[in-house]
Every structure is written in C-alpha cells, then in structure tokens.
Amino acid sequence: AQSVTQPDIHITVSEGASLELRCNYSYGATPYLFWYVQSPGQGLQLLLKYFSGDTLVQGIKGFEAEFKRSQSSFNLRKPSVHWSDAAEYFCAVPNNAGNMLTFGGGTRLMVKP
C-alpha cells in the first residue's frame, strides 16, 4: 500500500535560515505527492503537489519540493524561514484507489527569533 514517512517529528530553525523537511514515500507506480501546512488550531492548507513532469515543484508561501525517484523522497524546502512559518507540515500520498489521501505523521516546525 502507498505510504509516506516523515522522519522528523520536531524541527527548530532560526528565522532567516533555510529549511528542509523530509518525506519518504512508498508507491507502486508514478507517485502523486502533496505537502500540506497546518497552523495551530486551523485546518490543513495545500502548499504544493507533484503529479508528473518537472521534479522541482513550486508552491505557495515561497515553498518548493523536489521529487527524487532514486531516493523515494519528496522533501519540502524554503530558502529563508519566517516566524509565520511555524506550523505543522504533512506529506501525503493517495491510496491505491486514489480516492483518499494517506498522511505522514507530520513535522512540527518551530522558528527561533
């Protein structure tokens, strides 16, 4: 079955520093991959998605993610983190039938001033 793993439960970075959040997937064919962000007490917002084509995907809020088939990874990056980026981030992949998403356990990002 399709699945995603987010190895880091918590990450702390300084404001202005670069960020990379890891996501590893298990997928039988060409993967569809998603990154979501959840601010405290809010729902999930889609940051970006990968379906096919260019392996570097641009999203909202200055985020990007790179699909690497050889590493089974879809890591989320941002060159300069802002305090407002403090949130929880979820990687997701569709199930076999494609009718729902399976989420990783999430990575909580804290930003130091």
Partner 1 sequence: SQTIHQWPATLVQPVGSPLSLECTVEGTSNPNLYWYRQAAGRGLQLLFYSVGIGQISSEVPQNLSASRPQDRQFILSSKKLLLSDSGFYLCAWKDGQANTEAFFGQGTRLTVV
Residues that bind partner 1 (CB under 8 A): 32, 34, 36, 41-46, 49, 51, 90, 94, 97-101, 103-106
Q: Are 63 and 47 in contact (CB under 8 A)?
A: yes
Residue 98 Cβ vs partner 1, minimum distance, rounded to whole Å: 3
Q: Which is nearer to partner 1, 49 or 77 (CB)?
A: 49
SS3 letters for the chain? Answer: CCEEECCCCEEEEECCCCEEECCEEECCCCCCEEEEEECCCCCEEEEEEECCCCCEEECHHHCEEEEEHHHCEEEEEECCCCHHHCEEEEEEEECCCCCCEEECCCEEEEEEC
> Which is nearer to partner 1, 13 or 103 (by Cβ)?
103
User: Rounded to the nearest whole angstrom, what is the least distance from the CB of residue 29 to partner 1 in the complex?
Assistant: 10
- The least CB distance from residue 14 to partner 1, in Å, is 24
**Is the CB of 78 or the CB of 106 nearer to partner 1?**
106
Least separation in angstroms between residue 80's CB and partner 1 is: 26
Nearer Cβ to partner 1 (16/105) = 105
